[in-house]
Structure 1
Amino acid sequence: MAIDGAVITLFLLDKEPTGRIKGSMEGRPGVVYKIPRTLADNCNDLKYLQQSGVYFLMGTDKDDNASIYIGQGGIRKNGLGVLSRAVEAHQSIDYWTEAIIITTSDDSFGPTEISFLENKFCNMAKKGNRYKVTNNVEPTIGNISEEKECVLEEFISYIKMIIGTMGYKIFDPIGKSTKTKEDKLITTLKGYKAYGKRTNDGFMVFKGSEVVQEKTASCPNYVIRNRDKYKSKIKNGKLIEDILFSSPSAAATFVHFASANGLLVWKRVSDGMTLGEIEKALEEKVLNS
């Protein structure tokens, strides 16, 4: 049976996974670089970074929000290109720790194409809602032909794959899995009801869930910090959008405003089984198969 796959190459320029990485796809002109901020001044000899391209500056801001700035850069009078533009123009952005640079191996994109890509990536990142997009102004999309747009949309599709292979889910909406009756979970306390579900990214508490308003005397400090972090997502005691947590217990403590064991307090709506019982049954099924 033929496999409909893709070959992506990740080249570790510094022989370290935490160093500079070049990503590419077999038979495609797109090139993606991951550059740690501390190594940005070691890249002047990389020819592809002397071309035009789009850049992402990523990190965590002072409020512990995963943040991203998306911009573009062209070839400059000093012979440098997109990386130089990113570093020099945004020294005031103190949160960024890594840059993603997107360019081509044949320098085939001009200002119009780069503007289109900048606009599309910016809007895709906003839609994904994994990062706080810090652009003050939405990039101009430019005026391109239908034929060129088709080419660029294909370019975007495999650039997303390369970036995802590098470990970044910038454009994938958080926890967008079906909320079916069979796997939807509920936790209740003091008349409050919250609904959630495990996802590939962690544990999602759904929009509309009710959360306890008063913390317990023994409420852990990290729970209080989480409530403060997400206070803009709570209105009249209900979540106004989905929130992703690292684990069922982190989600449960947030909802209950107190210490809680997520494996015990989250229960399946359809039959009342706890999350711990559900997962134990799944483990036994795997072991006995």
Structure 2
Amino acid sequence: MMTNRTLMLYFPDTDHATSLRIFQDPTSQIRGFYFTKSQLSKVETLDYANNHAVYFLFSETEESSVYIGQSVNGIKRIKSHLRDKDFWQFGILLVTDNNSFDKLSIDYLEYYFIQAFSKTQYSLENQDLRTVVPNVNMFNLSTLSSFASQIQFLLEAMGISFKPSISIEEKSQADEVFLARSPHQASIRLQDGKYILQANSLIKAPLDRTKGWSDGGNFYQRSRRRYDQFIESGKAIKVDEKSAKLIDDVEFNSPSTPAVLCSGHSQNGWLFWEGLDEKRKKGI
């Protein structure tokens, strides 16, 4: 059944309307702040931005990824991520304008959305995937579930998709399939400007020799975390100690990230997928 909802938008700085906005359902006390990294200091000066919060840091460069966190002092917590998390380009902070979120609320909401995003096309940047449900009684659970539903609507209104996988109908509309070069067993297809790594493709843990690269092991650690999260979230099942098979299609923003995932080391995605570079050069 189709339902209608209204969303209010406020722009604190019209010169930066695309990078800083406040949004709220007029029937709810939950208030959202959308901001790019460059606007972070301005958010701190806005009303209610330092309340108890759950927040989301997004990257949509080569791979769509998200970090989900909680904060008892709102936007101030996110400032620390400028030092230790540089992957994100924009963030969304959710508070209540009467500060009715308490520590239990934001703890549960962090858990809830880590589980929710683990089933989507987003890769999780969280190292702790929160597999244990917070201890919440039945009365609080009803309220917190309502909060979670409202927040999901607000995120979707800001363009964040919770779509779990690619449908059969969408597959039938896709462009041709590109196979990984031998000996790798994987394939991608192009769809709506995205690169879809297809179900049954084999993904690999990063090669041990990448631990000694000049980046101080960053490539290995990040690739290992991504590989492990695919298995822990149920998006892939282990074949052996070094490889796993995808259960569902996974969407990427460039061809190189799925190439890295399927090979275990750095790759030029245009060359890794047979015929893809030729297609690009022809401008098709």
Task: Identify the TM-score tier after normalising by the shorter chain.
Answer: 0.5 to 0.7
Q: Secondary structure at the match of 2:106?
A: helix
Q: Distance in 2 between matches of 1:35 and 1:118?
A: 19
2:258 matched residue in structure 1 = none
Alignment CA distance shift 1:92-1:185 (3 Å): closer
One-letter code aligned to 1:256: E
Larger Rg: 1
Alignment CA distance shift 1:105-1:18 (3 Å): same
Q: Secondary structure at the match of 1:127?
A: coil
1:53 matched residue in structure 2 = 53
Deviation at 1:115, TM superposition (A): 0.5
Deviation at 1:84, TM superposition (A): 0.5
Q: How do residues 107-186 of structure 1 correspond to structure 2 at under 5 angstroms?
A: 107-136=99-128, 138=130, 141-169=133-161, 171-173=162-164, 175-178=165-168
Deviation at 1:130, TM superposition (A): 1.5
Deviation at 1:127, TM superposition (A): 1.7
One-letter code aligned to 1:177: S
Q: How do residues 255-274 of structure 1 correspond to structure 2 at under 5 angstroms?
A: 255-261=273-279
Query: Does the Cα contact within 8 Å between 1:65 and 1:132 map onto a contact in 2?
Result: no
Deviation at 1:33, TM superposition (A): 0.7
Alignment CA distance shift 1:3-1:198 (3 Å): same
- Pick 1 or 2: higher relative contact order, CA cutoff 8 A, min separation 6: 2
Q: Secondary structure at the match of 1:129?
A: coil
Deviation at 1:53, TM superposition (A): 0.8
Q: Distance in 2 between matches of 1:59 and 1:247?
A: 13
Alignment CA distance shift 1:183-1:98 (3 Å): closer
1:6 matched residue in structure 2 = 5
Query: Does the Cα contact within 8 Å between 2:66 and 2:123 map onto a contact in 1?
Result: yes
Q: Distance in 1 between matches of 2:60 and 2:187?
A: 28
Q: Deviations over 1:172-223 (max 9, x none)?
A: 32x431369976876588xx9988777667463521369xxxxxxxxxxxxx
Alignment CA distance shift 1:126-1:243 (3 Å): closer
Deviation at 1:247, TM superposition (A): 9.8
Query: Does the Cα contact within 8 Å between 1:55 and 1:102 map onto a contact in 2?
Result: yes
Q: Distance in 2 between matches of 1:155 and 1:12?
A: 24
Unaligned runs of 5+ in 2: 203-222, 231-235, 256-268
One-letter code aligned to 2:115: N
Q: Distance in 2 between matches of 1:149 and 1:199?
A: 39
1:91 matched residue in structure 2 = 83
Q: Distance in 1 between matches of 2:254 and 2:130?
A: 34
Q: Deviations over 1:215-255 (max 9, x none)?
A: xxxxxxxxxxxxxx9xx79999x99332435699xx99864
One-letter code aligned to 2:167: S
TM-score (norm 1): 0.63
Count of residue correspondences: 234
Query: Does the Cα contact within 8 Å between 1:69 and 1:135 map onto a contact in 2?
Result: no
2:213 matched residue in structure 1 = none
Q: Distance in 2 between matches of 1:180 and 1:70?
A: 29
Alignment CA distance shift 1:181-1:84 (3 Å): closer
Alignment CA distance shift 1:105-1:179 (3 Å): same
TM-score (norm 2): 0.64
1:240 matched residue in structure 2 = 245
Q: Distance in 2 between matches of 1:205 and 1:93?
A: 26
Alignment CA distance shift 1:201-1:105 (3 Å): farther
One-letter code aligned to 1:91: R
One-letter code aligned to 1:10: L
